[in-house]
A and B are shown apart, each in its own frame.
Chain A
Amino acid sequence: MVKIAFASMNGGGLEDVIADRFGRAPVFTIVELDEQGNILNVKVIENPGASASSGAGVKSVQALVNEGVDIAVGPNFGPNAQVILEEMNIKAVRIPAGTKIADALEKVKKEVLGL
Protein backbone atom coordinates (compact mmCIF):
# COMPACT_ATOMS: atom_id res chain seq x y z
CA MET A 1 0.00 0.00 0.00
CA VAL A 2 1.23 3.46 -0.84
CA LYS A 3 -0.19 6.93 -0.30
CA ILE A 4 0.52 9.71 -2.77
CA ALA A 5 -0.36 13.37 -2.14
CA PHE A 6 -0.82 15.74 -5.09
CA ALA A 7 -0.66 19.51 -4.55
CA SER A 8 -3.93 20.47 -6.24
CA MET A 9 -4.96 23.76 -7.81
CA ASN A 10 -8.72 23.85 -7.23
CA GLY A 11 -11.01 21.55 -5.30
CA GLY A 12 -8.82 18.46 -5.62
CA GLY A 13 -9.70 15.04 -7.07
CA LEU A 14 -8.39 13.13 -10.08
CA GLU A 15 -9.87 15.65 -12.55
CA ASP A 16 -8.14 18.61 -10.90
CA VAL A 17 -4.64 19.77 -11.91
CA ILE A 18 -1.29 20.21 -10.13
CA ALA A 19 -1.04 23.55 -8.29
CA ASP A 20 1.50 26.29 -8.97
CA ARG A 21 3.31 25.85 -5.68
CA PHE A 22 3.54 22.96 -3.25
CA GLY A 23 3.41 24.81 0.08
CA ARG A 24 0.69 27.20 -1.08
CA ALA A 25 -1.58 24.72 -2.89
CA PRO A 26 -5.13 25.11 -1.54
CA VAL A 27 -5.68 21.36 -1.12
CA PHE A 28 -3.94 18.01 -1.43
CA THR A 29 -5.50 15.10 -3.26
CA ILE A 30 -4.40 11.92 -1.50
CA VAL A 31 -4.57 8.72 -3.51
CA GLU A 32 -4.12 5.35 -1.85
CA LEU A 33 -2.95 2.48 -4.06
CA ASP A 34 -2.64 -1.23 -3.40
CA GLU A 35 0.46 -3.23 -4.42
CA GLN A 36 -0.86 -3.69 -7.97
CA GLY A 37 -1.53 0.02 -8.39
CA ASN A 38 -5.30 -0.18 -8.08
CA ILE A 39 -6.92 2.85 -6.48
CA LEU A 40 -8.21 2.01 -3.01
CA ASN A 41 -9.25 5.48 -1.97
CA VAL A 42 -9.10 9.13 -3.06
CA LYS A 43 -9.51 11.88 -0.55
CA VAL A 44 -8.95 15.62 -0.42
CA ILE A 45 -7.50 17.50 2.54
CA GLU A 46 -7.02 21.20 3.12
CA ASN A 47 -3.46 22.44 3.06
CA PRO A 48 -2.79 24.27 6.35
CA GLY A 49 0.26 25.82 4.71
CA ALA A 50 -1.88 27.66 2.15
CA SER A 51 -2.80 30.42 4.60
CA ALA A 52 0.16 30.24 6.98
CA SER A 53 2.13 33.46 7.34
CA SER A 54 5.39 31.65 7.94
CA GLY A 55 6.71 28.12 7.70
CA ALA A 56 4.15 27.28 5.00
CA GLY A 57 6.13 24.34 3.68
CA VAL A 58 6.51 22.80 7.11
CA LYS A 59 2.81 23.02 7.87
CA SER A 60 2.03 21.34 4.57
CA VAL A 61 4.52 18.57 5.29
CA GLN A 62 3.05 18.12 8.76
CA ALA A 63 -0.41 17.55 7.25
CA LEU A 64 1.06 14.92 4.91
CA VAL A 65 2.96 13.22 7.74
CA ASN A 66 -0.27 13.05 9.73
CA GLU A 67 -1.97 11.37 6.79
CA GLY A 68 0.83 8.82 6.48
CA VAL A 69 1.78 9.94 2.98
CA ASP A 70 4.77 8.26 1.26
CA ILE A 71 5.11 10.37 -1.88
CA ALA A 72 4.44 14.09 -2.33
CA VAL A 73 3.86 15.49 -5.82
CA GLY A 74 4.18 19.17 -6.66
CA PRO A 75 5.66 21.46 -9.35
CA ASN A 76 8.53 22.46 -7.07
CA PHE A 77 9.36 22.45 -3.37
CA GLY A 78 10.68 25.31 -1.24
CA PRO A 79 14.06 24.75 0.44
CA ASN A 80 12.44 24.09 3.81
CA ALA A 81 9.83 21.70 2.47
CA GLN A 82 12.47 19.85 0.51
CA VAL A 83 14.67 19.15 3.53
CA ILE A 84 11.82 18.30 5.84
CA LEU A 85 10.15 15.94 3.40
CA GLU A 86 13.42 14.11 3.20
CA GLU A 87 13.77 14.03 7.01
CA MET A 88 10.24 12.68 7.26
CA ASN A 89 10.93 9.99 4.69
CA ILE A 90 8.50 11.31 2.12
CA LYS A 91 9.69 11.20 -1.45
CA ALA A 92 9.30 14.50 -3.33
CA VAL A 93 8.32 14.13 -6.98
CA ARG A 94 8.23 17.06 -9.40
CA ILE A 95 5.49 17.23 -12.01
CA PRO A 96 4.70 20.51 -13.81
CA ALA A 97 1.86 22.74 -12.64
CA GLY A 98 -1.31 22.31 -14.70
CA THR A 99 -0.85 18.56 -15.27
CA LYS A 100 -4.09 16.65 -14.69
CA ILE A 101 -3.90 14.70 -11.41
CA ALA A 102 -5.02 11.48 -13.14
CA ASP A 103 -2.12 11.84 -15.61
CA ALA A 104 0.29 12.71 -12.82
CA LEU A 105 -0.82 9.57 -11.00
CA GLU A 106 -0.06 7.41 -14.05
CA LYS A 107 3.33 9.03 -14.31
CA VAL A 108 4.14 8.34 -10.64
CA LYS A 109 2.93 4.73 -11.01
CA LYS A 110 5.16 4.16 -13.99
CA GLU A 111 8.26 6.18 -13.19
CA VAL A 112 8.42 6.07 -9.40
CA LEU A 113 6.66 2.86 -8.40
CA GLY A 114 7.59 0.86 -11.50
CA LEU A 115 4.04 -0.39 -12.00
Chain B
Amino acid sequence: MKAKISVTGGKGGTGKSTIAVNLATLIARERKLVLADLDVEAPNDHVLLNASLENEEPVEIMLPFIVYPKCTRCGVCAQVCDTGAIILTREKLPFVIPRLCSGCRACYYACPYDAIVEGKRIIGYTYKTQVKIDDTVFTLVTGVLREGEEHTPPVVLAARKRAMSLAEDLLLVDTSAGTANHVSIALEDSKLVLAVTEPTPLGLHDLELILELSSTLGLESWVIVNRSTIGDISKVEEVAQKYNARIVAKIPYSREIVESYVKGVPIVELYPNHPISQSLQALAKTVLEVI
Protein backbone atom coordinates (compact mmCIF):
# COMPACT_ATOMS: atom_id res chain seq x y z
CA MET B 1 0.00 0.00 0.00
CA LYS B 2 1.35 3.40 -0.93
CA ALA B 3 -1.03 5.68 0.95
CA LYS B 4 -4.15 5.68 3.05
CA ILE B 5 -6.81 8.37 3.00
CA SER B 6 -9.68 8.42 5.51
CA VAL B 7 -13.12 9.91 5.28
CA THR B 8 -14.69 10.54 8.65
CA GLY B 9 -17.49 12.61 10.11
CA GLY B 10 -19.88 13.35 12.90
CA LYS B 11 -22.91 11.40 13.92
CA GLY B 12 -25.90 10.81 11.73
CA GLY B 13 -25.97 11.43 8.02
CA THR B 14 -23.31 14.08 7.49
CA GLY B 15 -22.85 12.56 4.07
CA LYS B 16 -19.59 10.83 4.94
CA SER B 17 -20.39 7.72 2.92
CA THR B 18 -21.61 9.73 -0.06
CA ILE B 19 -18.30 11.57 -0.17
CA ALA B 20 -16.41 8.29 0.24
CA VAL B 21 -18.09 6.41 -2.62
CA ASN B 22 -17.88 9.39 -4.99
CA LEU B 23 -14.22 9.98 -4.23
CA ALA B 24 -13.56 6.28 -4.63
CA THR B 25 -15.20 6.31 -8.05
CA LEU B 26 -13.17 9.32 -9.18
CA ILE B 27 -9.85 8.17 -7.76
CA ALA B 28 -10.27 4.67 -9.16
CA ARG B 29 -10.26 6.17 -12.66
CA GLU B 30 -6.66 7.25 -12.10
CA ARG B 31 -5.21 4.81 -9.59
CA LYS B 32 -5.68 1.32 -8.24
CA LEU B 33 -7.93 1.64 -5.23
CA VAL B 34 -9.41 -0.30 -2.36
CA LEU B 35 -12.32 1.29 -0.52
CA ALA B 36 -12.75 0.01 3.05
CA ASP B 37 -16.09 0.55 4.77
CA LEU B 38 -15.10 0.40 8.45
CA ASP B 39 -18.37 1.81 9.71
CA VAL B 40 -19.08 -1.73 10.90
CA GLU B 41 -22.17 -0.92 12.94
CA ALA B 42 -23.95 0.53 9.94
CA PRO B 43 -21.96 -0.02 6.75
CA ASN B 44 -23.70 1.46 3.73
CA ASP B 45 -21.11 2.10 1.03
CA HIS B 46 -22.24 -1.09 -0.71
CA VAL B 47 -25.82 0.20 -0.69
CA LEU B 48 -24.78 3.51 -2.24
CA LEU B 49 -22.83 1.58 -4.85
CA ASN B 50 -25.57 -0.97 -5.41
CA ALA B 51 -23.02 -3.70 -4.75
CA SER B 52 -23.62 -6.97 -2.95
CA LEU B 53 -21.52 -8.29 -0.07
CA GLU B 54 -19.40 -11.19 -1.30
CA ASN B 55 -16.52 -13.43 -0.21
CA GLU B 56 -17.56 -13.61 3.39
CA GLU B 57 -15.00 -14.28 6.12
CA PRO B 58 -15.97 -14.59 9.79
CA VAL B 59 -14.37 -12.42 12.49
CA GLU B 60 -13.76 -14.57 15.55
CA ILE B 61 -12.76 -13.66 19.06
CA MET B 62 -11.81 -15.85 21.99
CA LEU B 63 -14.61 -17.13 24.18
CA PRO B 64 -13.68 -18.77 27.49
CA PHE B 65 -15.06 -22.19 28.35
CA ILE B 66 -15.04 -23.24 31.97
CA VAL B 67 -13.96 -26.83 32.63
CA TYR B 68 -16.19 -27.33 35.64
CA PRO B 69 -14.55 -30.48 37.06
CA LYS B 70 -11.31 -28.50 37.39
CA CYS B 71 -12.91 -25.32 38.72
CA THR B 72 -12.41 -24.72 42.46
CA ARG B 73 -14.91 -21.83 42.50
CA CYS B 74 -12.23 -19.39 43.59
CA GLY B 75 -13.90 -16.51 41.73
CA VAL B 76 -10.67 -15.03 40.33
CA CYS B 77 -11.97 -15.08 36.73
CA ALA B 78 -14.99 -12.95 37.63
CA GLN B 79 -12.78 -10.48 39.49
CA VAL B 80 -10.44 -9.88 36.57
CA CYS B 81 -13.15 -9.62 33.93
CA ASP B 82 -13.78 -5.91 33.45
CA THR B 83 -16.63 -6.24 30.98
CA GLY B 84 -18.70 -8.07 33.59
CA ALA B 85 -19.01 -11.11 31.31
CA ILE B 86 -18.52 -13.62 34.12
CA ILE B 87 -21.06 -13.96 36.88
CA LEU B 88 -20.76 -16.31 39.85
CA THR B 89 -23.82 -18.34 40.74
CA ARG B 90 -25.05 -18.75 44.27
CA GLU B 91 -22.91 -21.88 44.40
CA LYS B 92 -19.96 -19.70 43.27
CA LEU B 93 -19.68 -21.39 39.90
CA PRO B 94 -18.50 -19.03 37.15
CA PHE B 95 -20.90 -18.52 34.27
CA VAL B 96 -19.83 -16.76 31.05
CA ILE B 97 -22.15 -14.36 29.23
CA PRO B 98 -20.86 -14.49 25.64
CA ARG B 99 -22.42 -11.27 24.40
CA LEU B 100 -20.54 -9.19 26.97
CA CYS B 101 -17.20 -10.95 26.51
CA SER B 102 -14.58 -8.96 24.59
CA GLY B 103 -12.30 -11.98 24.21
CA CYS B 104 -9.49 -10.26 26.15
CA ARG B 105 -8.32 -13.58 27.69
CA ALA B 106 -7.74 -12.00 31.13
CA CYS B 107 -9.74 -14.77 32.80
CA TYR B 108 -7.86 -17.45 30.86
CA TYR B 109 -4.50 -16.16 32.07
CA ALA B 110 -5.71 -15.47 35.59
CA CYS B 111 -7.32 -18.81 36.44
CA PRO B 112 -4.96 -20.44 38.95
CA TYR B 113 -6.30 -23.93 38.24
CA ASP B 114 -6.20 -24.12 34.43
CA ALA B 115 -9.93 -24.51 34.45
CA ILE B 116 -10.51 -22.23 31.46
CA VAL B 117 -9.96 -23.31 27.88
CA GLU B 118 -10.16 -21.22 24.72
CA GLY B 119 -13.22 -21.37 22.57
CA LYS B 120 -14.24 -19.08 19.73
CA ARG B 121 -17.17 -16.91 18.84
CA ILE B 122 -18.11 -15.12 15.64
CA ILE B 123 -18.85 -11.42 16.23
CA GLY B 124 -18.92 -10.18 12.67
CA TYR B 125 -17.87 -10.67 9.07
CA THR B 126 -15.73 -9.04 6.44
CA TYR B 127 -16.56 -8.99 2.74
CA LYS B 128 -14.73 -8.31 -0.49
CA THR B 129 -16.61 -7.06 -3.54
CA GLN B 130 -15.36 -6.06 -6.97
CA VAL B 131 -17.23 -2.85 -7.80
CA LYS B 132 -17.68 -1.96 -11.44
CA ILE B 133 -19.14 1.37 -12.52
CA ASP B 134 -18.90 1.69 -16.29
CA ASP B 135 -15.18 1.25 -16.97
CA THR B 136 -14.14 2.10 -13.43
CA VAL B 137 -13.24 -0.83 -11.21
CA PHE B 138 -12.22 -0.96 -7.58
CA THR B 139 -12.35 -3.30 -4.62
CA LEU B 140 -14.72 -2.70 -1.73
CA VAL B 141 -13.97 -4.27 1.63
CA THR B 142 -16.79 -4.12 4.17
CA GLY B 143 -16.79 -4.94 7.87
CA VAL B 144 -20.09 -5.89 9.47
CA LEU B 145 -20.67 -6.24 13.20
CA ARG B 146 -23.23 -8.91 14.00
CA GLU B 147 -26.48 -7.56 15.29
CA GLY B 148 -26.58 -7.31 19.06
CA GLU B 149 -22.79 -7.41 19.41
CA GLU B 150 -21.05 -4.67 21.35
CA HIS B 151 -17.37 -5.19 20.66
CA THR B 152 -16.64 -3.19 17.54
CA PRO B 153 -12.81 -2.97 17.49
CA PRO B 154 -12.03 -6.58 16.45
CA VAL B 155 -14.27 -6.26 13.39
CA VAL B 156 -12.76 -2.88 12.43
CA LEU B 157 -9.28 -4.39 12.80
CA ALA B 158 -10.13 -7.45 10.73
CA ALA B 159 -11.67 -5.40 7.91
CA ARG B 160 -8.74 -2.97 7.98
CA LYS B 161 -6.29 -5.85 7.78
CA ARG B 162 -8.12 -7.45 4.86
CA ALA B 163 -8.30 -4.12 3.03
CA MET B 164 -4.62 -3.43 3.59
CA SER B 165 -3.61 -6.84 2.32
CA LEU B 166 -5.54 -6.15 -0.90
CA ALA B 167 -4.43 -2.55 -1.40
CA GLU B 168 -1.42 -2.37 -3.65
CA ASP B 169 -1.69 1.31 -4.31
CA LEU B 170 -4.27 3.50 -2.53
CA LEU B 171 -6.59 2.73 0.35
CA LEU B 172 -9.62 4.90 1.04
CA VAL B 173 -11.22 4.29 4.42
CA ASP B 174 -14.76 5.23 5.41
CA THR B 175 -14.75 5.28 9.21
CA SER B 176 -17.72 5.17 11.52
CA ALA B 177 -19.05 8.40 12.95
CA GLY B 178 -17.74 9.96 16.12
CA THR B 179 -14.44 9.63 17.96
CA ALA B 180 -14.66 6.28 19.74
CA ASN B 181 -11.66 4.04 20.12
CA HIS B 182 -12.50 2.09 16.98
CA VAL B 183 -12.54 5.30 14.94
CA SER B 184 -8.94 5.96 15.98
CA ILE B 185 -8.09 2.43 14.86
CA ALA B 186 -9.63 3.18 11.49
CA LEU B 187 -7.82 6.54 11.17
CA GLU B 188 -4.34 5.38 12.19
CA ASP B 189 -1.57 5.86 9.62
CA SER B 190 -3.70 7.97 7.30
CA LYS B 191 -1.78 10.31 5.08
CA LEU B 192 -4.84 12.50 4.94
CA VAL B 193 -8.08 12.74 6.92
CA LEU B 194 -11.13 14.18 5.19
CA ALA B 195 -13.53 15.36 7.87
CA VAL B 196 -17.07 15.71 6.57
CA THR B 197 -19.34 18.07 8.47
CA GLU B 198 -22.48 20.17 8.22
CA PRO B 199 -22.88 23.83 9.11
CA THR B 200 -25.13 23.08 12.11
CA PRO B 201 -24.35 23.37 15.85
CA LEU B 202 -24.20 19.59 16.19
CA GLY B 203 -22.03 19.28 13.09
CA LEU B 204 -19.63 21.90 14.46
CA HIS B 205 -19.40 20.16 17.80
CA ASP B 206 -18.56 16.83 16.15
CA LEU B 207 -16.09 18.51 13.80
CA GLU B 208 -14.12 19.92 16.73
CA LEU B 209 -13.91 16.49 18.34
CA ILE B 210 -12.74 14.88 15.12
CA LEU B 211 -10.14 17.54 14.34
CA GLU B 212 -8.92 17.26 17.91
CA LEU B 213 -8.59 13.48 17.61
CA SER B 214 -6.89 13.68 14.26
CA SER B 215 -4.38 16.25 15.49
CA THR B 216 -3.69 14.06 18.54
CA LEU B 217 -2.92 11.23 16.14
CA GLY B 218 -0.65 13.64 14.23
CA LEU B 219 -2.64 13.44 11.01
CA GLU B 220 -3.30 16.12 8.41
CA SER B 221 -6.98 17.03 8.11
CA TRP B 222 -9.06 18.69 5.44
CA VAL B 223 -12.64 19.74 5.96
CA ILE B 224 -15.52 19.07 3.59
CA VAL B 225 -18.75 20.94 4.27
CA ASN B 226 -21.78 18.98 3.18
CA ARG B 227 -25.18 20.62 2.73
CA SER B 228 -23.21 23.84 2.89
CA THR B 229 -26.26 25.97 2.20
CA ILE B 230 -28.30 24.93 5.25
CA GLY B 231 -26.40 27.00 7.83
CA ASP B 232 -23.72 29.54 8.66
CA ILE B 233 -20.47 28.45 7.10
CA SER B 234 -18.32 31.09 8.83
CA LYS B 235 -18.51 29.09 12.06
CA VAL B 236 -17.09 26.05 10.27
CA GLU B 237 -14.29 28.25 8.98
CA GLU B 238 -13.46 29.34 12.54
CA VAL B 239 -13.22 25.79 13.80
CA ALA B 240 -11.17 24.68 10.79
CA GLN B 241 -8.78 27.57 11.29
CA LYS B 242 -8.31 26.74 14.95
CA TYR B 243 -6.98 23.32 13.97
CA ASN B 244 -5.08 24.51 10.93
CA ALA B 245 -7.33 22.46 8.69
CA ARG B 246 -8.40 23.87 5.36
CA ILE B 247 -11.86 23.67 3.88
CA VAL B 248 -11.39 21.88 0.57
CA ALA B 249 -14.94 21.47 -0.63
CA LYS B 250 -18.44 22.81 -0.07
CA ILE B 251 -21.22 20.56 -1.24
CA PRO B 252 -24.63 22.23 -1.53
CA TYR B 253 -27.83 20.40 -0.74
CA SER B 254 -29.45 18.95 -3.84
CA ARG B 255 -32.19 16.68 -5.04
CA GLU B 256 -29.87 14.90 -7.45
CA ILE B 257 -27.87 13.53 -4.52
CA VAL B 258 -30.99 11.87 -3.19
CA GLU B 259 -31.67 10.47 -6.64
CA SER B 260 -28.16 8.99 -6.72
CA TYR B 261 -28.88 7.20 -3.41
CA VAL B 262 -32.05 5.72 -4.74
CA LYS B 263 -30.41 4.54 -7.95
CA GLY B 264 -27.30 3.28 -6.19
CA VAL B 265 -25.08 5.19 -8.60
CA PRO B 266 -22.57 7.82 -7.37
CA ILE B 267 -23.55 11.31 -8.50
CA VAL B 268 -20.21 11.80 -10.26
CA GLU B 269 -21.26 8.96 -12.55
CA LEU B 270 -24.94 9.82 -12.78
CA TYR B 271 -24.54 13.56 -13.43
CA PRO B 272 -20.87 14.28 -14.22
CA ASN B 273 -21.62 17.93 -14.97
CA HIS B 274 -23.65 18.68 -11.87
CA PRO B 275 -22.04 21.37 -9.64
CA ILE B 276 -21.64 18.79 -6.87
CA SER B 277 -19.84 16.43 -9.22
CA GLN B 278 -17.59 19.27 -10.26
CA SER B 279 -16.63 20.08 -6.67
CA LEU B 280 -15.98 16.39 -6.05
CA GLN B 281 -13.84 16.16 -9.17
CA ALA B 282 -11.81 19.13 -7.99
CA LEU B 283 -11.46 17.52 -4.59
CA ALA B 284 -10.31 14.19 -6.03
CA LYS B 285 -7.76 16.05 -8.13
CA THR B 286 -6.37 17.87 -5.09
CA VAL B 287 -6.22 14.64 -3.12
CA LEU B 288 -4.35 12.88 -5.92
CA GLU B 289 -1.90 15.75 -6.17
CA VAL B 290 -1.05 15.47 -2.50
CA ILE B 291 -0.75 11.69 -2.45
Contacts and interface: CB of A to CB of B under 8 A. Distances in A.
A66 B89 CA distance: 8
A58 B90 contact: no
Q: Is the interface of B mostly helix, strand, loop or mixed?
A: loop
A62 B88 contact: yes
A24 to B, nearest CB: 13
Interface string A38-74: 0000000000000010111111011001101000000
B100 A88 contact: no
Interface in B76-99: 78, 82-85, 87-90, 95, 97, 99
A10 interface: no
Interface residues of A, number: 18
A87 B99 contact: no
Given A54-B83, A55-B83, A62-B78, A80 B88 contact: no
Interface string B224-263: 0000000000000000000000000000000000000000
B89 A58 contact: no
A59 B150 CA distance: 17
A58 B97 contact: yes
A112 interface: no
Interface residues of B, number: 14
Given A59-B84, A65-B88, A54 B100 contact: yes
B74 to A, nearest CB: 15
Contacts of B100: 54-55, 58, 80
A52 B83 CA distance: 9
A89 to B, nearest CB: 8
A75 to B, nearest CB: 21
A48 to B, nearest CB: 9
Contacts of B85: 55, 58
